[in-house]
Structure 1
């Protein structure tokens, strides 16, 4: 079961959850660079940093005709491009921070912060940022889906370490994925991940229905190993 679950979790996210060493390296870098900390670490910037910020805002707001919301959205979109297309966490975090600087109410900036930590395996840190994003937009389906997925990561870790509270993580994962599906019923990744959760909590009928939906939607993350495991558990 351990191996099968690991395969599923690796394939339903951009990176593996088991990246504690990467998180430690990231933290070491971020300690010396506030642009790698969410919200710039909430510290007072130097005069040079403030000047750089003003020059950046002047240039981008001139292009967007003073529209901070559109400019912020562009930066958060760029952040995800660097993260997912290039695997460049450093540039991604800097773009998310620029999105925050332009519009502190941009929930996607916090989604970006959380996604960085999520992909580094720091689930609690990810949820802290996701919580901030959900305060701004409680109906943000992508945040809710990834929030639920962090608990799938915790579930896997708890099984690996032989902890007894693993089912508590499944309950949380189910809660957030259900919420996400309420707001976006066409997201095949949410549907697929919820199928996995339903299988582990023993709701076989729902797990199969959700898997069928994900397959009909041509979700690329559906794996043969998961289908085999589902059939073994739910025969």
Structure 2
């Protein structure tokens, strides 16, 4: 079965089950709690506690409160992911945000996004689950949650088609919820087109593609349009 959109959709990430990038990350994280979400929930020594307190004291010189400072740290974390492709620096920023305000849902969105970029879909979902407990209507997190299942679909489509379709159904559930919250997110809409194509619902696939196209979604490719036309006419 041809899957022309896989690499484009998942940001050119290797999403195989035995992902060497994730294995390498785990090795690094085992020796550095700064690379573990919530610092691995480990007890810190006096030196680490002092460093945390010094950081909080210094950052609050520049922001009115911990919530604003935490928000800024998460913004920086996403910049490191998407603009610099530096996942280690991103994790450290998200952990700094966690120090300031653990109830900031974007922290867990950030943790999950790092794991998503490492191809660790289950680990990504674990973090998204935590974030959605704080903000169940976080549409971007719901979209990416659904996308993890799409990643699993691509992994299984040639070896376990039945399980692959189960992942598609999980994906559409989260993406439809995201769409019900935010109908203007063209990324959500484009992915709904892809999923519905694989589910064989050509009417929905074409409807969502038309919407995403009108919104000028930059990820839409001629290859996907050709694939959809081939499958659905």
Same fold, judged at TM 0.5 (above): yes
For structure 2, list consecutive stretches of 5 or more residues without a partner in the other structure.
Answer: none
Bigger Cα displacement from structure 2, 44-53 vs 81-90: 44-53
Bigger Cα displacement from structure 2, 157-166 vs 83-92: 157-166
Report deviation, 1:163: 4.8
Retained in 2: the 8 A contact 1:15–1:119?
no
Q: Which residue of 2 aligns with 1:69?
A: 67
Q: Which residue of 2 aligns with 1:195?
A: 193
Q: Which residue of 1 aligns with 2:126?
A: 128
TM-score (norm 1): 0.95
Retained in 2: the 8 A contact 1:17–1:153?
no
Retained in 1: the 8 A contact 2:15–2:120?
no
Q: Which residue of 1 aligns with 2:13?
A: 16
In structure 1, what is the Cα distance between the partners aligned to 2:203 and 2:162? 26
In structure 1, what is the Cα distance between the partners aligned to 2:36 and 2:156? 28
In structure 1, what is the Cα distance between the partners aligned to 2:194 and 2:149? 12
Q: Which residue of 1 aligns with 2:147?
A: 149
Retained in 2: the 8 A contact 1:79–1:92?
yes
Q: RMSD value over aligned CA atoms?
A: 1.1
For structure 1, list consecutive stretches of 5 or more residues without a partner in the other structure.
Answer: none
Q: Which residue of 2 aligns with 1:78?
A: 76
In structure 1, what is the Cα distance between the partners aligned to 2:28 and 2:70? 25
Q: Which residue of 1 aligns with 2:202?
A: 204
Report deviation, 1:14: 3.0
Q: Which residue of 2 aligns with 1:49?
A: 48
Q: Which residue of 1 aligns with 2:33?
A: 34
In structure 1, what is the Cα distance between the partners aligned to 2:217 and 2:8? 11
| Residue in structure 2 matching 1:161, options 156, 159, 162 | 159
| Residue in structure 2 matching 1:171, options 169, 172, 180 | 169
Q: Which residue of 2 aligns with 1:215?
A: 213
Report deviation, 1:175: 0.1
In structure 1, what is the Cα distance between the partners aligned to 2:77 and 2:171? 26
